[in-house]
Amino acid sequence: MRTIFATLAVAAAAAAAAAQTPPPPKPPGCAGAEHRQLDFWVGEWRVFQGDTEVAESRIERVAEGCAISENYWAPKAPGGPYRGLSYSAFDSKAGKWRQFYVDVNGAATWYTGGLEGADMVLHADGPNGAKLRMSYSPLPDGAVRQTGKRSADGGQIWMTGYDYVYRRR
């Protein structure tokens, strides 16, 4: 009987000591300023090409603030309804931003880049050896300009594929 009480007493003392020991500090996760460099793009948007509204987009922080997701929807796109989805995040190990974009046409593109001044500029390899460049630029009125460019000559000449302005709903 004494050994049972002794065992229980030791276990209770160990549990009490463990309860008083503070938990280890949480890792920093995504609290660094670099993880907030694209926050200007987070929101509910109406997307315009010139004066014409062409799409809507919802951009939100996900994964406990470690990533940004986009859900882009253009129901009246010239080629038929279009949807694209992306996940963007700062890769702490590489020190760069990454974005994976997929769409309803079967395209899947892996972008890499970072801030250039106030703009987020991302690059990717495109089909047939093309180079792709996408940029997000915060505008003074709170809107965001997104441009997509393509180069077929290794980056000497860039052709604009799209030029959108995201305006908050």
Return the bridge partners of 14, or none.
Answer: none
Asked if residue 125 is part of any domain, the answer here is yes
| Nearest of 66, 64, 75, 70 to residue 43 by alpha carbon | 70
Q: Does an H or E element contain 139, and which?
A: none
Residue 108 to residue 128: CA distance in whole angstroms: 14
Give the pLDDT confidence score for residue 109 in this predicted structure: 97
> In this structure, is residue 12 part of a structural domain?
no
Residue 103: which of 79, 137, 121 has the closest Cα?
79
List pLDDT tens digits, range 66-118: 999 999 999 988 889 999 999 999 999 999 999 999 999 999 999 999 999 99
Query: Count of domains in the chain?
Result: 1
The answer to whether residue 88 sits within a structural domain is yes
- Whether 122 is in a domain gets the answer yes
- Within 10 angstroms of residue 19's Cβ, the number of other Cβ atoms is 7
pLDDT in tens, 30-65: 989 999 999 999 999 999 999 999 999 999 999 999
Global model pTM greater than 0.75: yes
How far is it, in rounded angstroms, from Cα 152 to Cα 61? 34
Residue 28 lies in a domain: no
pLDDT for position 14:
54
Both tokens assigned to 48 = 């315009």
Domain enclosing residue 44, as ranges:
36-168
